[in-house]
Amino acid sequence: MKRAIFPGSFDPLTLGHYDIIKRSVTLFDEIVVAIGINADKKYMFSLEERKQFIEDAFKDHKKVKVVTYEGLTIDFCKEIDAQFILRGLRNPADFEFEKAIAHTNRKLSKIETVFLLTASNTSYISSSIVRDVIRNNGDYTKLVPDSVRVK
């Protein structure tokens, strides 16, 4: 079974994340959306909310699982027998950052990183932009799947 994890904080899930996950289900037998837990980071949405956003967005996709994890991504990959790490790239800066992580992960393990380019119509969207729109009472609904709703 070809299993890939798509790690991130997903604070919140964006249309860019959604697009990468949706397109990747044709490449792998299972996509594990892995929400990393970082006690030092302040999140806008709780872990439970972020998990629910993703589960609701992919409720009809049997190949997509949503989990949480702590620690190194490669250790979690080994724990769940994932052979691939999936990452989305929006721009050259993303590539340079992700390339360094991929090289490090490859040095420490045999896990391959697979990069997918974001769709051109979502390449400008980031979780931090979405959070800023929400904080300033803007219309964030054009940037996220329907499952993401602010209370």
Q: How, if at all, do strands 3-8 and 30-36 pair?
A: parallel
Task: Report how far residue 54's alpha carbon sits from residue 65's, in angstroms, rounded to the nearest whole number.
Answer: 9
SS3 61: coil
Classified as helix, coil or strand, 115 is strand
What are the two backbone dihedrals, phi and then psi, of residue 46, each rounded to the nearest 5 degrees? -70, 165
Residue 21 has pLDDT above 90, yes or no: yes
38 or 122: which leads in pLDDT: 122
Active site residues: 17, 41, 90, 127
Question: Residue 64's closest CA among 12, 103, 98, 25?
Answer: 25
Determine what percent of the chain is predicted with pLDDT higher than 70: 100
Tell me, what's the pLDDT at 96? 93
Domains of the chain: 3-142 (3.40.50.620)
CA 74, 33, 16, 13 torsion-angle sign? negative
Tens digit of each residue's pLDDT (9 = 90 or more) over 63-118 = 999 999 999 999 999 999 999 999 999 989 889 999 999 999 999 999 999 999 99
The per-residue pLDDT for 39 is: 77
Residue 116 pairs in a beta bridge with 88
